[in-house]
Amino acid sequence: MGAARVLLTVAGIYTTQSAIGGMSFQALPAVLRSHGAGLELVGLVSLFMLPWALKFLWAPAVERFRQRPGGIRRSRPIILAGQGVAFALLVLLAALSPREAPLALFLLLAAVAVVVATVDIACDGFTVERLAPATRGWGGAVQVGGGYAGMMLGGGLFLVLVDRAGWTAAVCAMVGLLVLLTLPVLLTPEPPLASLGEDRSGNRHRPSLAAAFARPDVRWGLVVVMVFQPGLRIVQGLMAPFLIDRGFDLALLGMLHGVAGTAASLLGALLAGLAARRWGADALLGPAVLVEAAVFLALLAAALVPGLPVAALVGLLLALAAVTGAAFVVLYTAMMGWTSLRQAGVDFTLFQCADAMVAALAGYGGALLAGTLGYKAGFGLAAGAALAAAALLPALRARIGAVQPDAAPPGVAV
Q: Tens digits of per-residue pLDDT, 142-185?
A: 888 898 889 888 877 888 888 888 889 999 999 999 999 999 99
Residue 389 lies in a domain: yes
Here the CATH number for the domain that contains residue 222 is: 1.20.1250.20
How many of the other CB atoms lie within 10 Å of CB of 387? Answer: 18
Distance CA(81)–CA(72), nearest Å, equals 18
Residue 374, by phi and psi: left (phi above 0), alpha (psi -120 to 50) or beta? left
Residue 229 and residue 170 share a domain: no
Task: Give yes or no: residues 132 and 75 share one domain.
Answer: yes
* pLDDT tens per residue, range 256-304: 777 788 889 989 999 998 999 889 889 999 999 999 999 999 999 999 9
Res. 326: pLDDT tops 70: yes
Give CA–CA dist 384/314, Å, rounded.
23
405 in any annotated domain: no
The pLDDT value given to residue 202:
54
Number of domain units in the chain: 2
Q: What pLDDT is recorded for position 217?
A: 93
**In a domain? residue 387:** yes
Weakest mean pLDDT among 191-200, 211-220, 351-360: 191-200
Side chain identity at 51, as an amino acid letter? P
User: Are the C-beta atoms of residues 16 and 82 closer than 8 Å to each other?
Assistant: no
CA-to-CA dists, residue 403 to 218, 221, 344, angstroms: 10, 11, 11
Q: Quick one: how far is CA 99 from the chain centroid?
A: 30
Residues 53 and 171 in one domain: yes
Task: Let me know whether 112 and 231 are in one domain.
Answer: no
Contact predicate 197/205, CB 8 Å: yes
Domain span at 14: 3-187
Are residues 154 and 264 both part of a single domain?
A: no
CA distance 67 to 210: 17
Residue type, 345: G
- Based on the domain organization, do 222 and 338 belong to the same domain? yes
pLDDT band at 198 (very low <50, low <70, confident <90, very high): low
Cβ pair 340, 194 in contact under 8 A = no
**Cα 135 to chain center, whole Å?**
19
Same-domain pairing of 315 and 351 = yes
Residues 277 and 330 in one domain: yes
Better-scored residue on pLDDT, 136 or 347: 347
**303 in a structural domain:** yes
Same-domain pairing of 233 and 182? no
Residues 16-42 have a mean pLDDT of 79
pTM above 0.85, yes or no: no
Nearest C-alpha neighbor of 141 from the set 238, 24, 3, 236? 3
Same domain for 260 and 173: no
What string of H, E and C letters represents the secondary structure of the chain? CCHHHHHHHHHHHHHHHHHHHHHHHHHHHHHHHHCCCCHHHHHHHHHHHHHHHHHHHCHHHHHHHHECHHHCECHHHHHHHHHHHHHHHHHHHHCCCCCCCHHHHHHHHHHHHHHHHHHHHHHHHHHHHHECHHHHHHHHHHHHHHHHHHHHHHHHHHHHHHHHHCHHHHHHHHHHHHHHHHHHHHHCCCCCCCCCCECCCCCECCCCHHHHHCCHHHHHHHHHHHHHCHHHHHHHHHHHHHHHHCCCCHHHHHHHHHHHHHHHHHHHHHHHHHHHHHHCHHHHHHHHHHHHHHHHHHHHHHHHCCCCCHHHHHHHHHHHHHHHHHHHHHHHHHHHHCCCHHHHHHHHHHHHHHHHHHHHHHHHHHHHHHHHHCHHHHHHHHHHHHHHHHHHHHHHHHCCCCCCCCCCCCCCEC
Q: Please check whether residue 200 lies inside any domain of the structure.
A: no
Domain boundary among 121, 154, 187: 187
In a domain, 357, yes or no: yes
| 333 class by beta-carbon count within 10 Å (0-12 exposed, 13-18 middle, 19+ buried) | buried
Domain presence at residue 345? yes
Please check whether residue 202 lies inside any domain of the structure: no
Q: Indicate whether 181 and 307 sit together in one domain.
A: no
Does one domain contain both 53 and 108?
yes
